[in-house]
Amino acid sequence: MNEKKNIEIQFYEVSQFIIKAKENAYRNINTELIKLYWQIGKYISKKSSNSEWGDSVVDKLSEFIQNKHPEMKGFGRRGLYRMKQFYDTYMRNEKVSSLLTQITWTNHLIILSKAKSIEEKEFYILLASKEKYASRELERQFKSGYYERFMLSNKIVSAVPTQINKKIFSKFKDTYVMEFLQLPDIYEEKDLQKSIIRNMKKFILEFGRDFTFVGEEYRVQVGNSDYYIDLLFYHRELQCLVAVELKTIDFQPEHIGKMNFYLEALDRKYKKSYENPSVGIIICKGKDDEVVEFALSRNISPTMIAKYETKLIDKKALEYKLHELYKSVSLLD
């Protein structure tokens, strides 16, 4: 290695120190801010609960803080009541207490205003913490009905007799929303595939950030023939290859046989010794749940069937479906 190249590598290492320090500093600042808002929210909540403080006192507190600390933003009347709501919502919630400082205040405000139930709030806190969502990304997941789709997906999974580990199923959805593809009214599978490649960053956001893209039209050789997997990913947590087949038609049972062939080829020829068996997902234009159940009932390969939407799903329709699911479960109890 020449001296110039060696120096560049060393400079890059120093640059990484700076980046790491900035990230740590930002995390520390965010942690202290969340703790401060929690402390203030708790104080206001306690004073309000024993009738010491009313709205007028909170208004005066807002004026006092803004006069005393003009450099501090977000301490208007609305901001102070948001802090109180923040404390009141999670004060007895051990499930997310350790995660509250792991996401930004902006993301907390989004969750408080948009999530309707405590279960939904917990879901998005866990999700935003794990995926490190920016506020725009979190907003998009609300718009796409991520929570409702995830809960409905679990219902579909539980209805399908399978030997597949449920941990694997939890990493996939029943429906993928890909409104960002901007496809024409009539398109073919290659158009769908190319559009996903062009929008890979957004696709990964919808697919899941633990997925690392390996390649498109990934060639696997069996005997004297070459076969091509539409998209191939690697899942870091599951430590396995994930083969994705795209279909612009509704799911057909024969799709399973082709996917099983690909998974066998990947496991025999491409899987590393320390990796887990490969997983397949067939993403179709639509699917009949009963057909899926029949097709998977005797299938032992880790294969999931999902559908995709090229437009945002009506969130109210998703909420209604989830409500109907909860109602049917309660009737069975």
Model confidence over 242-295: pLDDT tens digits? 999 999 999 999 999 999 999 999 999 999 999 999 999 999 999 988 898 888
pLDDT of residue 327: 55
Would you state the pLDDT for residue 241?
Answer: 95
The total of other beta-carbon atoms located within 10 Å of residue 268's CB is 11
Show which of 143, 158, 187 is a domain's final residue: 143
Q: Do residues 152 and 113 both lie within one domain?
A: no
| Residues 136 and 37 occupy one common structural domain | yes
Q: Which residues of the chain have pLDDT under 50?
A: 156-164, 328-333
Bridge partners of residue 286, in order along the sequence: 250
- Distance CA(59)–CA(37), nearest Å, equals 17
**pLDDT value for 26:** 78
Q: Say whether both 69 and 93 belong to one domain.
A: yes
CB 287 within 8 A of CB 250: yes
Whether residue 220 is found in the same domain as residue 297: yes
Whether residues 178 and 315 fall in one domain: yes
pLDDT of residue 325: 55
212 within 8 A of 275, measured Cβ to Cβ: no
Domain co-membership, 69 together with 124: yes
87 and 74 in a single domain? The answer is: yes
Out of 80, 114, 143, pick the residue that ends a domain: 143
Instruction: Read off the CATH number of the domain in which 222 is found.
Output: 3.40.1350.10
The total domain count for the chain is 2
Query: pLDDT tens digits, residue range 8-29?
Result: 777 777 778 788 887 778 778 9
pLDDT value for 33: 92
User: What's the chain look like in SS3?
Assistant: CCHHHHHHHHHHHHHHHHHHHHHHHHHHHHHHHHHHHHHHHHHHHHHHHCCCCCHHHHHHHHHHHHHHCCCCCCCCHHHHHHHHHHHHHHCCCHHHHCCHHHCCHHHHHHHHHHCCCHHHHHHHHHHHHHHCCCHHHHHHHHHCCHHHHHHHHHHHHHHCCCCCCHHHHCCCCCEEECHHHCCCCCCCHHHHHHHHHHCHHHHHHHHCCCEEEEEEEEEEEECCEEEEEEEEEEECCCCEEEEEEECCCECCCHHHHHHHHHHHHHHHHCCCCCCCCCEEEEEECECCHHHHHHHHCCCCCCEEEEEEECCCCCHHHHHHHHHHHHHHHHHHC
pLDDT of residue 169: 64
Residue 79, pLDDT score: 93
Q: Which residues contact 166 (CB under 8 A, 6 or more apart)?
A: 157
Whether the Cβ atoms of residue 84 and residue 41 lie closer than 8 Å to each other: yes
pLDDT computed for residue 53 by the predictor: 85
Helix-helix angle 3-49:105-114, to 10 degrees: 50
pLDDT of residue 4: 67
- Shared-domain flag, residues 150 and 287: yes
Q: Which residues contact 137 (CB under 8 A, 6 or more apart)?
A: 131, 205
Range of the domain at 233: 146-332
Per-residue model confidence (pLDDT) at position 54: 82
pLDDT attached to residue 136: 92
Q: Which of 143, 158, 192 is the last residue of a domain?
A: 143
Residues 159 and 121 in one domain: no
The answer to whether residues 179 and 321 belong to one domain is yes
Q: Looking at the structure, tell me whether residues 184 and 272 fall in a common domain.
A: yes
**What value, to the nearest 5°, has the Cα angle with vertex 263 and ends 270 and 156?**
140
Instruction: Specify the residue for token string 């993301």.
Output: 107
Is there a single domain that holds both residue 123 and residue 193?
no
